[in-house]
Homo-oligomer: A and B are copies of this chain.
Amino acid sequence: MASQNEVDDMIKRVQTSKGVQGIPIRTSMDNDTTLHYAALISQLIVHAKRVVREIDSSQELEQLRLRSYKHEIIVAPESKYIMIVIQVPEAV
């Protein structure tokens, strides 16, 4: 489990990352990896939400899936948080 200092550090670093709103609240990965994913994906979700709304303003993005050979990243933007699941495709 991360110590309180580590959590505080992580929160400070995420909040200073460009374009990132919010902080990781639960993770099964190490802090740096968590921060890296959180910063990159929260910005991509802002972009994806805008695309869905520009295509049809009555629609909201419910889920985004990014598939590469090694990983599948599943992102569910909820109202108060973003859930990010990273899975290995063969393992599913």
Contacts and interface: CB of A to CB of B under 8 A. Distances in A.
Interface of A: 36-37, 40-41, 43-44, 47-48, 51-52, 54-56, 58-71, 73
B67 A64 contact: yes
A5 to B, nearest CB: 26
What is the total number of copies of this protein in its complex?
2
Contacts of A55: 36-37, 40, 71, 73
Chain A at the B interface: SS class: mixed
Contacts of A71: 55-56, 59
A59 B71 CA distance: 9
Contact of A47 (B44, B52, B62, B68): B44
